[in-house]
Structure 1
Amino acid sequence: MTASVHPFPARRAPSLDPLMSLVATDLNHVNSVILERMQSEVPLIPELAGHLIASGGKRMRPMLTLAAARLLDYAGARHHKLAACVEFIHTATLLHDDVVDGSGLRRGRRTANIIWGNPASVLVGDFLFARSFELMVEDGSLRVLRILSNASATIAEGEVNQLTAQRQVEISEDRYLDIISAKTAALFAAATRIAAVVAEREEAVETALESYGRYLGIAFQLVDDAIDYSSDETTMGKDQGDDFRDGKVTLPVILAYARGSDADRRFWRQAMSGERAGDADLAHAFGLLKSTEAIADTLDRARHYGQRAIDALGSFAPSAARAAMVETAEFAVARAY
């Protein structure tokens, strides 16, 4: 009996490989800038900063700056320092976030605040913010400075907004989207938008790239919210259910609370206040998230924003850069499966 043969090969799962291949040479230049600018005569600064910078992060945000520049056929080198600037902003926010959250793991490694303490982590984060602004000033463009400084302020506002909403399970979905648009998506948006500035392209191009980055960032965060309840330390670099134990009110919890019975809502209020954070409570939370389809609907929203990111690239001619950026948006959603 002859085995059946599929006429078309199965499509491979989306990955970051095309993006990484596209920008590999440029990323080497960016990494050189990062290594150079994180140095200091105070040994603790490069030691602590290097712990996080070298801890296996994908450099997605700076890679997006490089890919967007390639999409626009930019032939200069300004984007190398600006991509490093984007990475410094991101790393600084991670250092500060881990202190605020009391996190013990990031990317599967002990966090800097656990090793060196909270004061050192905050101060080195400040140092990296300062380095990022040095790089902005060296670029010489007030427009670039405005975009990246506004993004930095927006990220801080988003973090404060999230802090004030912590453990408040009754917050609306709209407010939560405002929070992640600020704390996560703003830097994605700035990272892609500045490529249009250095390439001296018209405002419509800036807007399209800003939209791509923003929608990609929202999709990325929503998937993170979902897989916190369905992954393990190997996948996420942190323990499963950390958001639950920390009382972080993310979209799956917001949806489950809104759709639950009075008893379910009482459970979520107790859980988010820290009264119910044991393994049995986490298992009960999983059951409620499943029965209310909160995880599935969070991922549906992530797919929606991922598609909006792809649609924002519709005005650009087909190219390897556009294909890589499209696949990056697909990857952001597909990593949940």
Structure 2
Amino acid sequence: MPLDHPGEKPHDQLAKRLSADMDAVNTLIRARMASENAPRIPEVTAHLVEAGGKRLRPMMTLAAARMMGYPGDDHVKLAATVEFIHTATLLHDDVVDESSQRRGRPTANLLWDNKSSVLVGDYLFARSFQLMVETGNLRVLDILSNAAATIAEGEVLQLSAAQNLATDEGIYLKVVRGKTAALFSAATEVGGVICGAPEAQVDALRTYGDALGIAFQIVDDLLDYQGDAKATGKNVGDDFRERKLTLPVIKAVAAADAEERAFWSRTIEKGKQEDGDLEHALVLLDRHDALTATRADAMGWVEQAKAALSEVEPADAELHALMLALADYVVERVR
């Protein structure tokens, strides 16, 4: 089906194809986010979990497992684990970034407070480890626990890199691999592991998730400068206002002359922003084709993801085709 067919985006098609599994994941999530002793936990969690996200990461776990012919139900626990890890990181991220909006709604830290967001995030991390253990598979425990550690490492690296003009594309890639791609790659890798797929196939699934996650984050960074606020749930220029040195700006800084570099230093490093600065930033990005180059990078990573997935020998060809289409869809928003 064409990607522009209303209601038939690849993630919508995946959701339909995996509807029974996704229903089981959602039921498990609701059951495990409950707390008899602290009612604020399900309140805060539900605010984010029920906010209408695509559940893309857990869906990738389900799709990978079913694509490789998995007949059991432990993939449901792994998918719920992935969603809990993701939700926990979002709660923590919004506190760190002092965000007030997520998916077009007020953030949990704004509605409640920072302490509640941090502690509920901790609770979800704990729940995720309980679910991992219940599968009885030490390798998936190793993969997902490593991913959780890598995510935290990426966030800490970003603290020192985000407002430092010395941050180059290599450092940016390390941050992105930590904060975003680690969970994408783990989500697809455990789908292959749980069904006992050959090692080469598991490696291909991991590579697919890694490249897709990098492309996903690059597109997200690109949309911050040219996206539709209604579609993205965030205002254009939020990253600039929050002084985040993302890939488009890194490319513009690398090509900047002394005057332009002084502008980036004032607005990003020193945080002294004035009226009209965002508009001037957009001019500089356009002057050095930074947005075009960033888009090309995203498309390159998508091609790597598709190449890796093409090495997989699926038991379910339809799911394989949908996961290939999903990679294309990630960059479809910025073509």
TM-score (ref. length: structure 2):
0.95
Question: How many angstroms apart in 1 are the aligned matches of 2:2 and 2:204?
Answer: 31
Structure 1: state its 5+ residue gaps: 1-8
Paired-residue identity, %: 51
2:224 to 224, 228, 250: 228
Residue 180 of structure 2: aligned partner: 184
How many matched pairs? Answer: 329
Counterpart position of 2:318: 320
**AA paired with 2:327?**
A
Choose which of 17, 20, 27 in structure 2 pairs with 1:22: 17
1:317 CA displacement = 4.2
Q: Describe the shift of the 1:20–1:272 C-alpha distance in structure 2 as closer, same or farther (beyond 3 A).
A: same
Q: Deviations over 1:134-156 (max 9, x none)?
A: 00111111101000000000000
| 8 Å contact kept, 2:180–2:217 | yes
Q: 2:284 aligns with which of 284, 288, 296?
A: 288
Q: TM-score, normalised by structure 1?
A: 0.95
Per-residue CA distance 1:238-289 (angstroms, 9 max, x = gap): 1111100111010101000111111111101111035443440000001111
Q: Are the equivalent residues in 1 in contact too, given 2:222–2:294 (CA < 8 A)?
A: yes
Contact 1:216 1:305 in 2 (8 A): yes
Maintained 8 Å contact 2:243/2:271: no
Name the counterpart of 1:34: 29
Residue 241, structure 1, aligned to residue 237, structure 2: yes
User: Do the aligned partners of residues 10 and 96 (structure 1) sit closer, same or farther apart at CA in structure 2, a change above 3 Å counting?
Assistant: closer
Moved over 3 A (4+): 9-15
Distance in 1 (CA, whole Å) between partners of 2:2 and 2:251 is 35
SS in 2 for 1:240: coil
Q: Is the counterpart of residue 146 in structure 1 residue 116 in structure 2?
A: no
Inter-partner Cα distance in structure 2 for 1:277 and 1:240: 16
Calculate the aligned-residue CA RMSD, in Å: 1.4
Quote the Cα distance in structure 2 between the aligned partners of 1:12 and 1:312: 25
274-283 or 308-317, larger mean C-alpha shift: 274-283
Q: Secondary structure of the residue that 1:256 maps to in structure 2?
A: helix
Distance 2:115 2:126 in 1: 17
Q: Distance in 2 between matches of 1:277 and 1:34?
A: 42
What do the CA deviations read for 1:30-55 (whole angstroms, capped 9, x no partner)?
A: 00000000000111000000000000
| Whole-angstrom CA distance in 2 between matches of 1:37 and 1:302 | 36
**8 Å CA contact 1:170, 1:257 repeated in 2:** no
Q: Does the 8 A contact of 1:245 with 1:274 survive in 2?
A: no
